[in-house]
Amino acid sequence: MQYHATRRVRRTLAIAALSACLAAIPAAPAFAVPTGSSSGSGDTGSGTGSAGSSSGSGSSGSSSGSANFALPISSPAGLIALTAAVTQTGKPYEWGGTGPNAWDCSGLVQWAFHQAGVNLPRTSEQMAHAGYPVPLWALSPGDVVVLNSDASHVGIYVGFGQVFNAYGNGVPVGLAPLSQWEINSIRRF
């Protein structure tokens, strides 16, 4: 009898732990939102201003669920955008191209995120300041990677050191090693 009661308690605890993990997965991107970042202007690209500010008055308020660090967890919008982007594999590069027959780097990224319901700025330089900053150690598939010291190129991180991008004349839209560029910034949407 004791054995069955112990087994039932263990099963209940295991189910509760699993439920807590499953409940945390959709909320994980919210935990990955940095607040109080000292880099950039604090513009989130969402039109809502900066999140997580406090008045310091000691009054109770609701927590945004944000953390002061990014987690290495992909955002749902980033994964949707990555999925949309890879449907454009093999299409030609065209400077200023916004699809559907040819793309430039920022046109492809902007279009892909639009498919996920996220409105990004048009140029890679503007994208370098939108969304939430992500440190290199937290880079995850679906993150926007702004490249080169002048932020002149952008792509979507795929994982395994690869970025999906529209690179240049004669190079079809597709994968390239992230290591061939200098990372300017990493942004999450």
Q: List, as one string, the DSSP characters of 95-106.
A: TT-BSSS-B-HH
Distance (Å, whole) CA 127 – CA 135: 16
114, 119, 129, 153: the active-site residue: 153
21, 119, 148, 165: the active-site residue: 165
Catalytic residue list contains 153: yes
C-alpha dist (Å) from residue 26 to 37, 76, 84, 87, 174:
23, 8, 20, 25, 29
105, 129, 148, 184: the active-site residue: 105
Distance (Å, whole) CA 68 – CA 148: 26
Cβ atoms of 34 and 68 closer than 8 Å: yes
Catalytic residue list contains 129: no
Q: Which residues are catalytic?
A: 105, 153, 165
